[in-house]
Structure 1
Amino acid sequence: MDRVIEKKKWSTKKILTIAGVVALAALIFGSYYFTSGKSRLNVDTERISIQEIKKGIFQENIPVNGIVLPMTTIYLDATEGGRVEEKYVEDGAIMKKGQPILRLSNTDLELSLSNQETQVFNVLTQMQISKNNADQNTITRLNQMAEVDNALKEADRVYQVNNKLYQQKAIGSQEFRSSQNLLDYQKRRKDLTVDILKKDSVSNRQQLTQMQQSYERMQNALQLMRKKVGDLVVRAPVDGQLTSLDAEIGQSKNKGERLGQLDVMDGYKVRVDVDEHYLSRVFVGLKGSFEFAGKSYVLVIKKVYIQIANGRFQVDMEFEGEVPKGIRRGQTLQIRLALSDEKQAILLPKGGFFQQTGGNWIFKLNEAGTMAYRVDIQLGMMSPDNYEVLSGLEPGDKVITSSYENYTTMQELVLKKP
């Protein structure tokens, strides 16, 4: 008798297939559950820097380097070229105004001075000769004038006598007319002599004036030439300290060449180099501070040089208030130049993270400190120590500020303590 065999509902193959599908689904679900769909990396806390976000006083400032310089520096250039014959002082000497520093020699200049002096002497001699000739001519003209006056008087006397005699019919008209003509001639002669005397006088004065002016011009030229020769002895223009003296015995110096400089010891200023990026934000009146011998000092910008060289421009800063004791010319100071006023702000300490994120995001820790999540932030101004946080973080938050070189593609970091 045949027996009915019941068909199995769950075969071994079917069970294995279902189990595989369930396992795969569980794996996918577990992966999503544990990662929330985000890339994750385990990080040792000893290899990162964790900082807390705080609220405090913020002032945007940049670190700059400045060199201490005298308030006033006078450059010593060779007014005239020549050979260094003698040095009276050495570099670093304290000078008084007018004190000689060194002496140059220039034979061409000295020969020109001698020729100029000769020319002046010749002009003076010629002027004296011309003056003597003018005086002799004037004397001659005056003698002629005296003769003309005498002849006129005599002609007038004869005319007066003849006029009376002619009225009395004692002489004829011929003799009377002759004395009258002689009187008229002497009058015209006197007028002509007076005119010549005036013209000669004017001409003599003009000639003497011109020669005097020429002599004065040559005298001025001579004085200038003597000054040029005198400039071969280089002297201190003011009281101060001689620095950067570049001259040795026997060395030739060209006209206009730098010989050294004189530092006026009436105070100091600081010459500061600033990146050209800040040119539009740096102006007269901005302040900076620096530490010296454990004490803080304040500087203020007095002059801005807008010329840019090698991506930088310069400013001159002067001390506001007390000047540090013991500060010296050429000393380098590390200054914090303030670009804004102090204000309350949320502060994010500086760190290597900025190189990879550009300040657009940062890893923020959870409350337990076991995870760090990537959050978007917005930063404002910066100081040497902090960034100003505009959005994305609050005081009390903890963030990773060290380099993100290995984390740029991660969304979350699992923090593990060693």
Structure 2
Amino acid sequence: MDIPLEKKRFTTSKILMIVGAVSIVALILFVILSTTGNAKLNVQKERISIATATQGVFQENIPVNGVVMPITTIYLDALEGGRVEEKFVEDGAIMKKGEPILRLSNTDLELSLVNQETQVYNLLTQMQISQNAARQNTINKLNQYTDVENSLIEAKRLYELNKKLYDKDAIARQDLIKSQNDYNYQKERMQLAKQILEQDSIAVKQEKNQVSSSYQRTQNALELMRRKVADLVVKAPVDGQLTSLDAEIGQSKNKGERLGQIDVLSGYKVRVDIDEHYISRIYTGQTGSFDFDGKNYTLVIKKVYTQVTNGRFQVDMEFESEVPEGIRRGQTLQIRVALSQEKQALLIPKGGFFQETGGNWIFKVSEDGASAYKADISLGSQNTEYYEVLSGLEPGDRVITSSYDNYKEVQELVLQD
């Protein structure tokens, strides 16, 4: 008798078909979830940086580099051109004001000085001759005045005598009239002599002033020429250190050419380069700080150079109080220039996340620390250490601040130990 066989519900082929269908559905669901932004990614905690948002004092600043320079630099230019004949010191020497540095020679200039001196001496001789002639002329006029005065006295005496004699009928009227005419004539001569003497005095004074003025101008020109020749010896204008000396014996230097500089060693300043983006926010009186040998120092902006070169401008900063010991000319300092006053703000440390998010969102760690999810935020100002958080976070929130290079399309991170 045949025994009926029970028909199986799931054959091997059906099972394989079901498994294949489930796999396809799972793949479709994974793709859908990935494209709809609900993707998750497992991340090791040791590979990321987690920071806590904290309330604290915030001040916006920018990092810049500054070069230490002498507080004052005096440039040495050739006031007169010439050939370098002698060097008295070498580059780097400590100089006192007025000490010679080098000597130039200029034959044309020295010859001009000799000609100028000769001209002054000739003018002085001519002036002395002119003064002697004027003096002799005045003496002659004084002698003439004395003769006229004597003639007037004699004519007056004779007229008065004849007048008395005529009253006594001792002389004729003709004699009286003659003596009277002679007396009047001598009076007119006396007036004329006085006028001539006064005019001579004025003329002598004018001539003396003109000659003296001409002599003084020539003397001034001579003194100027002597100073020009003296400028061939280049001297230190102030106390300081001679640097950048560019002159060798036998070398020719043109007028106005840079020879070197004197650095005043009474103090230092820092020349800082800043991006032109901040030119409207930089002004005198702003402060900056830097660390040197384990100590913090403060600088103050004293001068802003508004000329922009290659996208940058410069400022000069000076030490607010003490100058660090051991600081040297040419040393580079890393400075934080403050752009705002201190204020209370919610802060998160700076990190690589900003390059991917632009500060618009961040991965916020859950309370249990097992995951992190995207959270929209708004950042304000920044300094060298922190970002100012305007919205999206609360004090105590933990966020991931490391780079998001591999998390661009991920919505949630699963944090694993």
C-alpha change, 1:202 and 1:42, in structure 2 (3 Å) is same
Map 1:15-414; keep pairs closer than 5 Å.
Answer: 37-40=36-39, 42=41, 44-45=43-44, 49-55=48-54, 56-408=56-408, 410-414=409-413
Q: Distance in 2 between matches of 1:246 and 1:24?
A: 83
Q: Distance in 1 between matches of 2:150 and 2:367?
A: 136
Q: Distance in 1 between matches of 2:344 and 2:415?
A: 35
The one-letter amino acid paired with 2:99 is Q
Aligned to 1:5: none
Q: Distance in 2 between matches of 1:36 and 1:199?
A: 118
Q: Distance in 2 between matches of 1:122 and 1:141?
A: 29
The one-letter amino acid paired with 1:89 is V
Partner of 1:204, secondary structure, is helix
The one-letter amino acid paired with 2:376 is D
Q: Distance in 2 between matches of 1:45 and 1:339?
A: 38
Bigger shift: residues 61-70 or 337-346:
337-346
Partner of 1:115, secondary structure, is helix
Q: Distance in 2 between matches of 1:51 and 1:159?
A: 135
Structure 1 residue 304: deviation in Å? 2.2
Q: Deviations over 1:94-132 (max 9, x none)?
A: 111111000011111111111111111111111101100
Q: Distance in 1 between matches of 2:284 and 2:293?
A: 27
Q: Distance in 1 between matches of 2:164 and 2:283?
A: 106
C-alpha change, 1:281 and 1:398, in structure 2 (3 Å) is same
Q: Distance in 2 between matches of 1:269 and 1:25?
A: 73
The one-letter amino acid paired with 2:351 is G
Q: Deviations over 1:23-54 (max 9, x none)?
A: 79976995599669325253543795332233
Partner of 2:384, secondary structure, is coil
Q: Distance in 2 between matches of 1:300 and 1:44?
A: 46
Aligned to 2:13: none
Q: Distance in 2 between matches of 1:37 and 1:368?
A: 26
Partner of 1:237, secondary structure, is coil
Aligned residues of 2:89 and 2:101 also touching (Cα < 8 A): yes
TM-score where L is the length of structure 1:
0.88
State the superposition RMSD in angstroms. Answer: 2.7
Aligned residues of 1:348 and 1:386 also touching (Cα < 8 A): yes
Q: Distance in 1 between matches of 2:195 and 2:142?
A: 12
Bigger shift: residues 203-212 or 393-402:
393-402
Q: Distance in 2 between matches of 1:211 and 1:381?
A: 77
Q: Deviations over 1:211-258 (max 9, x none)?
A: 011111111111111111111101111211111111111111111211
C-alpha change, 1:303 and 1:176, in structure 2 (3 Å) is same
Aligned residues of 1:345 and 1:389 also touching (Cα < 8 A): yes
Aligned residues of 1:84 and 1:249 also touching (Cα < 8 A): yes
Aligned residues of 1:52 and 1:395 also touching (Cα < 8 A): no
Structure 1 residue 171: deviation in Å? 2.4
Q: Deviations over 1:55-101 (max 9, x none)?
A: 13322211111111112221111111111111000011011111100
C-alpha change, 1:24 and 1:87, in structure 2 (3 Å) is closer
The one-letter amino acid paired with 1:52 is A
Structure 1 residue 155: deviation in Å? 1.3
Structure 1 residue 406: deviation in Å? 4.5
Partner of 2:288, secondary structure, is strand
Aligned residues of 1:52 and 1:396 also touching (Cα < 8 A): no
Aligned residues of 2:85 and 2:104 also touching (Cα < 8 A): yes
The one-letter amino acid paired with 1:236 is A
Q: Distance in 2 between matches of 1:157 and 1:416?
A: 143
The one-letter amino acid paired with 1:107 is T
Aligned residues of 2:88 and 2:102 also touching (Cα < 8 A): yes
Q: Distance in 1 between matches of 2:363 and 2:212?
A: 93
Show structure 1 runs of 5+ residues with no match.
1-18
The one-letter amino acid paired with 1:37 is T
C-alpha change, 1:81 and 1:47, in structure 2 (3 Å) is farther
Map 1:4-15; keep pairs closer than 5 Å.
Answer: none
Q: Deviations over 1:260-301 (max 9, x none)?
A: 111111111111112222222222222222121222222222
TM-score where L is the length of structure 2:
0.88
The one-letter amino acid paired with 1:49 is I
Aligned residues of 2:53 and 2:393 also touching (Cα < 8 A): no
Q: Distance in 2 between matches of 1:275 and 1:193?
A: 88
Matched residue pairs, number? 399
Question: Percent of counterpart pairs with the same letter?
Answer: 63
Q: Distance in 2 between matches of 1:23 and 1:129?
A: 133
C-alpha change, 1:356 and 1:218, in structure 2 (3 Å) is same
C-alpha change, 1:92 and 1:24, in structure 2 (3 Å) is closer
C-alpha change, 1:28 and 1:76, in structure 2 (3 Å) is closer
C-alpha change, 1:175 and 1:112, in structure 2 (3 Å) is same
Q: Deviations over 1:181-210 (max 9, x none)?
A: 111111101110110011011101110111
Bigger shift: residues 254-263 or 352-361:
352-361
Q: Distance in 2 between matches of 1:25 and 1:328?
A: 73
Structure 1 residue 417: deviation in Å? 4.6
